[in-house]
Structure 1
Amino acid sequence: MHYYRYSNAEVSCWYKYLLFSYNIVFWLAGVAFLAAGLWAWSEKGVLSDLTKVTGLHGLDPVVLVLVVGIVMFTLGFAGCVGALRENICLLKFFCGTIVFIFLLELAVAVMAFLFQDWVRDRVKEFFENNIKSYRDDIDLQNIIDSLQRINHCCGAQGPEDWDFNIYFDCKSESKSREKCGVPFSCCIPDPAQKVVNTQCGYDIRKKSKSQWDDQIFVKGCIHALEAWLPRNIYIVAGVFIAISLLQIFGIFLARTLISDIEAVKASNAF
């Protein structure tokens, strides 16, 4: 009987410190996300204007970073404390949440495959809403600019989508200098220019569409992303498989440690 208890205790310790090491990385990543999100949040003064964030039609990237940070920090903390203190409640919370996230990811992947047209419409709507908020959020602006510059695209379906933004809308009564133009990230870069011309998109949509091809990207970002995915399917699949394996490994460690703790407690009862 004593040998049985000692054997289980040894196994518990091995899994305990392995799970602790797994979660300390999780926790540190959560701290990094939180620190980055809070720094960006305070830099642009959003803390003093929460209503602006909650009313934003597009997605504030800082909020997304904070949410990811909070989830990772909470799970990492629960896993670390649960492993060191051999707290079954915390370990079950950690394990259950990871299982929920894993199933949610799986469901999203299946739904995206089965309902591709619906997903395409939601992506289009999401992108258009973020175009509306382009000048309202500097982080969102930088992400859209990067997306357009890297993928050589402009707007959701094309350059005309910039009419969704009041500053670029050709029909608007606004006196904005950007009216009937596009952001500089839509412009075809000139190799001879070492300094980015932020005014290169001004008045471009006042010209005939036949002139656009020489100055701006005319392909929409949704089409660019649809073309990018097949070319990089193995990279995308590899990333998702790696994330899934890490989650399954964490679930395995937590479940094994819970079983070992319960076995040791049961043996102590005799």
Structure 2
Amino acid sequence: MGVEGGMKCVKFLLFFFNFIFWICGLALIIVGILVQMAVHSTFMIHDASASSVPLVIIGVGVVIFFIAFFGCCGAWKENYCMITTFSILLSLVIIVEIGAAIAGYIFRGKLTVIVQDSLSDMISKYNNGTDEFMKAVDKLQEDLKCCGVNGTSDWKDFKSDGISVPDSCCVNVTTDCGVRAMTDASKVHQEGCQNALEALLKKNVQWIIVAALVIAFLQIMGIVFACMLMRGIRSGYEVM
């Protein structure tokens, strides 16, 4: 009876952990989508490494979402084959998550170069860009309250006078507020966007790394419970 009670407890713990995994999978999908949107839609950064981490997290989230349902069914029905498959798949997911966390850490180290190159490219293409592109750059500068890459002087080629900046650089954005106001700190933000953008992206990547590692730890616990239940089923104990 003692073993029976213990296996019953393991069964329900595994079911509970899979429910948590299901929620974690949904959370990973949401976090990955939000970071992907932040990196590309808002800041228009197109470096391939910037996409890899959020896309991997989204993919892992989708896989976890379905594996968790599979694990719940296996635990509830006490199906040895389903639980074994669940354990193998979850182990593979953990490896991918650890890889994503490492990629995220590496990406953090490359942020300075990626951000600087992307912002410089945005500024050089601003005058000849589409309305959508210009609005994206303007929104970036307005939201982060910054101007240029390292400062207002990055906009020296914006107009022929060499001392005008886009209106989105202004402290109070109004039509033509940036005309001949490049060095006027009372009208135009003098700080560049690089530092502010780096800080924001690092914060997003940090959340991905933390989420991946925490969920990987929980999944290891789930595998432990799955192995215990598999052993009980194989030994012929009644876990109901």
The structure-2 alpha-carbon separation of the partners of 1:146 and 1:250, relative to structure 1 and needing over 3 Å to count, comes to farther
**Partners in 2 of 1:119 and 1:34 — Cα distance?**
18
Q: What residue number does 1:260 align with?
A: 228
Partner of residue 151, structure 2: 158
Question: In structure 1, what is the Cα distance between the partners aligned to 2:146 and 2:102?
Answer: 30
Alpha-carbon distance in structure 1 between the residues aligned to 2:228 and 2:14 = 10
Distance 1:241 1:36, change over 3 A: closer
Deviation of 1:29 (Å): 3.9
Q: Which residue of 1 aligns with 2:23?
A: 25
Contact in 2 for aligned 1:19/1:80 (Cα 8 Å): no
Residue 90 (structure 2) pairs with residue 94 (structure 1): yes
State the match for 1:200 in structure 2. Answer: 177
Quick check: 1:58 aligned with 2:30? no
Q: Separation in 2 of the partners of 1:238 and 1:200?
A: 37
Q: Which has the higher contact order (CA 8 A, sep 6+)?
A: 2
Q: Which runs of 5+ in 1 are unaligned?
A: 41-52, 172-178, 190-195
Q: Are the counterparts in 2 of residues 153 and 217 from structure 1 also a CA contact under 8 Å?
A: yes
What letter is aligned with 2:189? F
Aligned-pair identity in percent equals 19
Partner of 1:85: 74
Report the Cα distance in structure 1 between the residues aligned to 2:106 and 2:47, rounded to whole angstroms: 24
**Shift in CA distance, 131/33, structure 1 to aligned 2, threshold 3 Å:** farther
Q: Would you say 1:148 and 2:141 are equivalent positions?
A: yes
Question: 1:64–1:98: structure 2 CA closer, same or farther, 3 Å change rule?
Answer: closer
Following the alignment from structure 1 to structure 2, what is the Cα–Cα distance between the partners of residues 12 and 18? 10
What one-letter code is carried by the residue in structure 1 that aligns with 2:100?
L
C-alpha distance 24-224 of structure 1, shift in aligned 2 (>3 A): closer
The normalised TM-score by structure 2 is 0.62
Pairwise mapping of residues 109-258 of structure 1 onto structure 2 (< 5 A)? Answer: 109=105, 112=108, 119-131=111-123, 138=132, 141-142=135-136, 144-162=137-155, 169-170=158-159, 182-189=165-172, 197=174, 199-201=176-178, 204=179, 207=180, 209-210=182-183, 212-224=184-196, 243=211, 246-258=214-226
Q: Deviations over 1:142-181 (max 9, x none)?
A: 5x54543343211222234457xxxx8447xxxxxxx985
Match of 1:10 in 2: 8
What is the identity, as a one-letter code, of the residue corresponding to 2:21?
Answer: N
Name the counterpart of 1:193: none
Contact 2:53–2:100 (CA<8 Å) still a contact in 1?
no
2:228 is paired with a residue of what secondary structure?
A: helix
State the Cα deviation string for residues 89-111 of structure 1 (Å, max 9, x = none). Answer: 34432343234323432464377
The whole-number CA distance in structure 2 between the counterparts of 1:260 and 1:110 is 36
Structure 1 length as normaliser, TM-score?
Answer: 0.56
Q: Which residue matches 2:78?
A: none
Report deviation, 1:129.
Answer: 3.9
Q: 1:129 to 1:199 in 2, by over 3 A?
A: same
CA–CA separation in structure 2 for the residues paired with 1:241 and 1:65: 10
* Distance in 1, Cα, partners of 2:56 & 2:214: 20
Shift of the 236–254 alpha-carbon distance from structure 1 to 2, 3 Å rule, reads: same
Shift of 1:124: 1.0
Contact 2:147 2:190 in 1 (8 A): yes
Give the C-alpha shift of residue 123 in structure 1.
2.5
